[in-house]
Amino acid sequence: MYSKIGRRVRIADAFHSHVQTRAYKDQLIGREDVIVAVLRTGKVALVELDDDGSPFPAGVRRWSFCWDDLHKETKTNPPQRRAVEYRAGFTWKGRQAVQHAVPPEKTVALCGQTTRPLPVCEWSLTFSATVDRACLTCVQLAKTAAESNEESDTLAS
Ligand SMILES: [Zn+2]
């Protein structure tokens, strides 16, 4: 967990933010400013405008934004957002195929099993955690990996 305070963000939208923020969205969207506080257990960030002499009423320089409206500066936080797509690999239990999650370019599944793609398919299936015959270890490991990806992009307070 690390603090987002001091992080530079681009204001991408005001759709989710406070009504007062929304009222000035035309002036605010597109700006890049600095987070000075994180409120409401990480749902809201208080952003301070860089320039002195704010063009806004009463010189307001701090605006609260819902986190979803902000684009974080990516230089200090390399994007890991793209969810990993696992291919489906199979092992056989008697006549039953068990589906495993296989990282791209690999033949060994997350659980350590050496797998084969379905022999009838030229194209590779995408691993689905919801099929009956999915390997439970793979399901769990794929889920954990996805969650840790998300966590790096969620506000820590
Ligand atoms: Zn597996």
How many Å lie between the centroid of ligand 1 and the Cα of residue 135?
Answer: 4
Q: According to the model, what pLDDT value does residue 9 have? A: 87
**Within this chain, do residues 65 and 99 fall inside the same structural domain, yes or no?**
no
**Within this chain, do residues 95 and 134 fall inside the same structural domain, yes or no?**
yes
**Within this chain, do residues 93 and 50 fall inside the same structural domain, yes or no?**
no
Asked whether the predicted pLDDT for residue 156 surpasses 60, the reply is: no
- 39 three-state secondary structure: strand
**Within this chain, do residues 59 and 97 fall inside the same structural domain, yes or no?**
no
CA atoms in the 13 A half-sphere facing the CB of 154: 8
How confident is the model over 109-130, as a mean pLDDT? 76
Q: According to the model, what pLDDT value does residue 72 have? A: 65
How many Å lie between the centroid of ligand 1 and the Cα of residue 5?
Answer: 40
Assess if residue 62 is contained within a domain.
yes
How many Å lie between the centroid of ligand 1 and the Cα of residue 133?
Answer: 10
How many Å lie between the centroid of ligand 1 and the Cα of residue 97?
Answer: 11
Assess if residue 157 is contained within a domain.
no
With residues binned 3-state (H G I as helix, E B as strand, rest as coil), the percentages for the chain, rounded to 5, are 20, 30, 50
Assess if residue 1 is contained within a domain.
no
Report the chain's C-alpha Rg in angstroms: 22
Host domain of residue 52: 8-72
Q: According to the model, what pLDDT value does residue 77 have? A: 47
How many Å lie between the centroid of ligand 1 and the Cα of residue 81?
Answer: 24
**Within this chain, do residues 55 and 18 fall inside the same structural domain, yes or no?**
yes
Q: Two tokens at 48?
A: 């301070």
Asked whether the predicted pLDDT for residue 137 surpasses 90, the reply is: yes
- The total domain count for the chain is 2
Assess if residue 121 is contained within a domain.
yes
Assess if residue 132 is contained within a domain.
yes
Record the pTM.
0.43
**Within this chain, do residues 68 and 91 fall inside the same structural domain, yes or no?**
no
Which tens digits make up the pLDDT trace of 62-103?
Answer: 888 888 888 865 454 444 455 567 888 889 888 888 999 998
**Within this chain, do residues 68 and 95 fall inside the same structural domain, yes or no?**
no
Asked whether the predicted pLDDT for residue 54 surpasses 70, the reply is: no
> Which of 72, 100, 117 is where one domain is finished?
72
Q: According to the model, what pLDDT value does residue 79 have? A: 47
How many Å lie between the centroid of ligand 1 and the Cα of residue 114?
Answer: 9
